[in-house]
Structure 1
Amino acid sequence: MMRAVEYDRYGDAGQLSVRTVPKPQPKRGEVLVRVHGSSVNPVDAKIRSGGIRMMSGRKFPKRTGMDFAGEVEAVGPGVADVALGQRVWGFLSDVSGRTGAAADYITVRTSALSEAPTTLDLVTAGALPSVGVTALRALRDVVRLQPGEDLLVVGGSGGVGSIAIQLGQVMGAKVTAVASAANAAFCRELGATRVIDYAARGGPSGEFDVILDTYGGSLGAYRRLLRRRGRMMTTSIDGMTFALLSALSPGPRVRQMMARSRRADLAALAESVDQGKIRPVVERIYPLESLGEAHHAVETGHARGKKLIAVVSD
């Protein structure tokens, strides 16, 4: 048996509870991971609240949590490329809630994980997989950020945004962040050369080659800041409708992407961490029993990095 956080209906963070459930067994091509660290992403709270129930469905109980870092405890049939005891990390892409990383153990396909960074403990590493891969793929593969370009990161103090600022600087861009006034110094510490207060009168100003939005609001206003042949994308589910409609209106199309957990991307992310190019940003660490409190904080506060869940103590 093991602990796992579950809920029986959509609603507020009070629906979450730690329960004793059967320990899963790895199937062919899977491994059993003992989870050390996980984290809370805005999409976790949106799924739990029922905000995307057309995708997550109505089958309960559901579990929660995408990110994981931990140790391989067992391997399923046909697994030859992952060893017992190996330190691994990744994230779960399934929004249905059939499985969740806020648990003592999870089963994962070997193609959806990689070796974890050697320079991070496994609790801290749990803050990074989904936001790190999202930022990496967004800048490298979707908007194809080039050295010397002007990059605007909307939501610069959040999970994806805090990594995007760091990656943008590493890739040679000039980074401007949009964040609250309280988080301006924090964004500069990460590598932003300019910070725009999202609440400033008159809205943002400037011209940019690339805009990465992580918030999903005011996308039309931000799109007007693009230079000719500029590129823009949003990682927010709330920006999905605008991204679709942008293909039908004058101006650059706004792309959208939801990252998948793939070994090559996770390995590249781990290498960047071990080389000191990027680091996870952890605002607070919660025990598994306080996951509901972490969900509530994600929904109501100004983000500064990630809310980390310590499933075990490293």
Structure 2
Amino acid sequence: MAAHTNPLEETQMNAIVLERHGPPEVLRVRRLPIPALQDKGVLVRVRATAVSPGDCRMRASKPPRGEQSGPKRVGLDVAGEVVSVGAAITHLRPGERVYGFSMRSVASAEYALLPGSALAVIPASLTFQQAAAVPLSATTALQALRDVAKVKQGERVLVVGASGGVGTFAVQLARILGADVTGVCSARHVALVRELGAGRVLDHGRTDFTREPERYDVVFNTTFARSFVACRQVLARTGRYVTVALPPPWVDRVASSLLPGPRLLMASVTPRGDDLRQLSAWIDAGQLRPVVSQVFPYTRFADAHRASEAGQSGGKLVVDMESLNEAGASL
């Protein structure tokens, strides 16, 4: 893949990085080279990003053995403006507002280079801050429900963690796919989840849904709160338990492989511009909306990580990156 010269006058940018793994305090602003444009790439001026539990786990966890030292960028979601496109890109042009995500953690900087196949134009009704809440979480929910669980019209879907970043999209997308939706969340977010379209909402502080008489075709678990074994009894005989959490424990895997009935399914997520364009169409039609819990200035990037780790927000935590190019930027 051929590299192109940097289309900008400057050669370096401000970026929020971690120089070692640890608590939010390890995040720093540093100068890094602006990524070199590639044939299938798009250079984006980042205007906003979002903080997810995955970002926090990556920051806090021990690095893989053999990983090279040095500053590492954080952040998966990108919302911004196209600066320049590679020779193979025909569907985007400089100046367009775009959003997408990369599993390589490139978002926490003035500029990010993403594959053109992972980007789509931001719906006109969304601000950069609202758009940053969409890519990773909404795509995760869509691929889990449509592609992994294969939700069908009229099925009963239970969303565990319905007020979180993935959960708020899952409630809405399950409805769009024609399902009857029940959400599980904390008491403070019951009204929000009901507003998003859940026909029934359970406060997990008062109701143990695994002991309820209802049976579901799909249990979509977006949290670590309940295992497959615990949820199995509320699944229909042909039910599917789908999780986007870390790999399930061995007890769940053994139970799924040996016991008849409901199946345990793991959902991963892949950046796809086509999926973002479908999500954009639903947003434009008023069927889907991002829920932004709080917007932080980039100077409070570490606070956004702390808030994510506290786990009490409804929807997504967003960071405004507009002023990261200011001289003397600091956290």
For normalisation by structure 1, the TM-score amounts to 0.92
Match of 1:305 in 2: 315
How far is the alpha carbon of 1:145 from its aligned partner? 1.1
1:231 aligns with 2:240: yes
Alignment counterpart, residue 207 of structure 1, candidates 207, 215, 240: 215
Q: How many residues align?
A: 308
- What code does the residue aligned with 1:288 have? Y
| Structure 1 residues 211 and 286, CA gap change in structure 2 (3 angstroms) | same
Partners of 1:312 and 1:15 lie apart in 2 by: 22
| Structure 1 residues 282 and 58, CA gap change in structure 2 (3 angstroms) | same
Partners of 1:100 and 1:274 lie apart in 2 by: 27
Question: 5 Å matches for 1:18-167?
Answer: 18-50=29-61, 53-54=63-64, 57=67, 59-94=69-104, 99-167=105-173
| Maintained 8 Å contact 1:88/1:115 | yes
How far is the alpha carbon of 1:153 from its aligned partner? 0.1
Partners of 2:316 and 2:217 lie apart in 1 by: 28
Q: Which structure 1 residue ranges, 5 or more long, are not aligned?
A: none
Deviations 1:285-305 (A, max 9, x none): 011121110011111132300
| Maintained 8 Å contact 1:177/1:187 | yes
For normalisation by structure 2, the TM-score amounts to 0.87
| Maintained 8 Å contact 2:283/2:289 | yes
Alignment counterpart, residue 305 of structure 2, candidates 283, 286, 295: 295
How far is the alpha carbon of 1:57 from its aligned partner? 4.2
Larger radius of gyration: 2
1:274 aligns with 2:274: no
Q: Which structure 2 residue ranges, 5 or more long, are not aligned?
A: 1-11, 324-331
| Maintained 8 Å contact 2:129/2:295 | no
Q: Supply the RMSD in Å over aligned alpha carbons.
A: 2.0
| Structure 1 residues 136 and 203, CA gap change in structure 2 (3 angstroms) | closer
Partners of 2:286 and 2:56 lie apart in 1 by: 31
Deviations 1:53-82 (A, max 9, x none): 449945432110000111110122333332
Match of 2:258 in 1: 249
Q: Secondary structure in 1 aligned to 2:44?
A: strand
Identity %, equivalent residues: 37
| Maintained 8 Å contact 1:179/1:195 | yes
